Structure 1
Amino acid sequence: MKTTAKFIVLHPSVYKTAGGTAHRGWIAVFLLLFFFTFSFTLITTRNAAARTTASAAPGGANSQLLPKPVADALLHYATANATASGRMSTAETEKMASVLRRCAAGGACNLLVFGLTHETLLWSSLNHNGRTVFVDESAHSVSEIERKHPSIEAYDVQFTTRSGELQHLIGHYRREKSNQCRPLSINDLPNHIYDVPWDVVLVDGPSGYSAASPGRMAAIFTAGVLARSKSGGGGGATHVFVHEIEREAERVCSEEFLCRENLVETIHSLAHFVVPKIDVHSNKIDFCLKSI
């Protein structure tokens, strides 16, 4: 029996169809990948833009405020040993923190602090999106804080008055203020400090613990001047805090230059004044509307 071999012949169109199908499949895969990549990029970009807009907008969903849990943690650790001499109590730091938070909610907050203390890094952190400047009598302390924390802006100045001179200086000021005499001015305070519209001023230095040490008379006087003549177009009143208000120099100078009518409250040793800006047409500033 003769067997005849049979050959199966594939028509060329079979190859073309298979190859064409595979080619079209790769094109489809490429288009899908392109579509998903483009969509992902577009969505991501829009979300990032929305987050940026929200954070830039005052009072937006993601405003420039330090997250409250972070602020609470900072306050907790800063006041863990609040009974140490010279440190603020928990209630005092919480009061400062609440004012800084309200200030920052309205935009960048300008904070001026007299004295480098245990709370220095706390104030700088709580006002992280604003400007914080420290003024201290110790050149060494300023140098050390700048070395350890380069982002801190601090200046050393000479306080020429002494705590034991309080009554003499106050008497001299009252006699000469009509002649624009300012015996309590800080002569080497950087000029640009006067050009900043300070929203919050804290007086927690110089130390002033003895009659021969630099007192806080000049710092409180300067705080009153800066608040009354608030410059740079800044509107509104200035929150001025004076720590250790129970001491004579702090109490007397606060009454003289920050005024009783501006005292909002006293928490432990921290006095909180809200000092309004006044229109100054000369170098003379009448600090208080009411007599002491």
Structure 2
Amino acid sequence: MKHKLQGSFNPKHLLLGFFLLGLLVIILRSSYSSSTDSLKSPAKSDGPTPATPACVKIPPSLAAAVIHYATSNVTPQQTFKEISVTARALDKRSPCNFLVFGLGHDSPMWSALNHGGRTVFLEEDAAWMEKVRARFPDLESYHANYHTRVRDADDLMALRSKPECTEVGDVRSSECRLALIDLPSVFYELEWDLIMVDAPTGYFVDAPGRMGAIYTAGMVARARREGETDVFVHDVDRAVEDKFSRTFLCEGYLKEQEGRLRHFSIPSHRSNTGVPFCP
């Protein structure tokens, strides 16, 4: 995510600006409507008394995002249509618990879109994380270590047939090599309503790759007490993201694909032990 830079003007910058401004208008319109309803006085014989508008501040997370994108030529690599897929899910479920693998130029946007909820970012590059924290101290981010490598993807894919890799339970006690058992504790303490897998780095053979992140996202979704978890995987034009998302998040749970983004909706398996790993 942090490497997805564009040094010159890009139409996506303008589209993202319109997207955030539209969100701002909706929030302000809702706030204004609520405030005017509360201020209306009983109607008099000569007609209703005009309501007095109240001053309503926009959420700090949204203010920071608007300022950031209005003053930067650097935009997220996801397209407007790809971003809109996740935004629609957030519109239905926020405020919620939203976990993002990766800390990047789109992070202020995700935090703003989940205003009132908890948005957590896991980042592999400690130096980059501190740089982003300095500019956006309100973003909740944690350093994460990964033990896999892209060059081992084929061997890891074969684990799909292993019982220890399909058993639903506490991922921290999993014996599956794909399970990420040493992430920051916050990851295991919450049930996540949305998970975005847009990290770690996966475009060269010695990079960690997203095999473990995709697998672990699917397993914590199955292990939640009830309900469904929306899981999004970006860069599915690459072999690892394509194969691992189809295999461990399951094509039967695929709701939508837009460009290089896939959206899966994975139900809880905890209350129904007879549910197969994939439908």
TM-score normalised to the size of structure 2? Answer: 0.68
Instruction: Write the distance in 1 (CA, Å) between the matches of 2:149 and 2:236.
Output: 17
Structure 1 pair 229–90 and aligned structure 2 pair: CA distance change class (3 A): same
| Aligned-partner Cα distance in 2 for 1:280–1:207 | 35
Q: Which has the larger radius of gyration?
A: 1
> AA paired with 1:87?
Q
Which whole-Å CA distance do the structure 2 matches of 1:269 and 1:172 have between them?
Answer: 25
Question: CA shift at 1:117, angstroms?
Answer: 2.2
Residue pair 2:100, 2:196 contacting (<8 A) in 1 also: yes
Superposed displacement of residue 246, structure 1: 1.6
* 2-structure distance, mates of 1:149, 1:277: 34
Q: RMSD of aligned C-alpha atoms?
A: 3.2
1:184, distance to aligned residue in structure 2 (A): 1.2
Of 232, 240, 244, the residue aligned with 1:241 is 232
Q: Which 4+ residue blocks in structure 1 deviate beyond 4 angstroms?
A: 47-51
- Greater relative contact order: 1 or 2 (C-alpha under 8 angstroms, separation 6 or more)? 2
Q: Which runs of 5+ in 1 are unaligned?
A: 1-46, 52-65
Q: Is the 8 A contact 1:173 1:182 kept in 2?
A: no
Distance, in Å, in 2 between the alignment partners of 1:230 and 1:261 is 19
Note the C-alpha offset of 1:81: 6.9
CA distance in 1, matches of 2:205, 2:178: 16
Alpha-carbon shift at residue 181 of structure 1 (Å):
2.5
SS at match of 1:259: helix
Larger CA deviation: 86-95 vs 188-197: 188-197
Name the CA distance, whole Å, in 1 between partners of 2:254 and 2:159.
25
Q: Distance in 2 between matches of 1:191 and 1:229?
A: 16
Match of 1:265 in 2: 256
Q: Is the 8 A contact 2:153 2:240 kept in 1?
A: yes
Q: Give, in whole Å, the separation in 1 of the partners of 2:221 and 2:162.
A: 23
Structure 2: segments with no counterpart, 5+ residues: 1-34, 40-57, 168-173
1:14-46 deviation per Cα after TM superposition (whole angstroms, max 9, x unaligned): xxxxxxxxxxxxxxxxxxxxxxxxxxxxxxxxx
Q: Does 1:201 align with 2:192?
A: no
Amino acid at match of 2:108: L
Aligned to 1:62: none
Percent sequence identity over matched residues?
37
Q: TM-score, normalised by structure 1?
A: 0.65
Which amino acid in 2 is paired with 1:99? A
Secondary structure of 2:88's aligned partner: helix
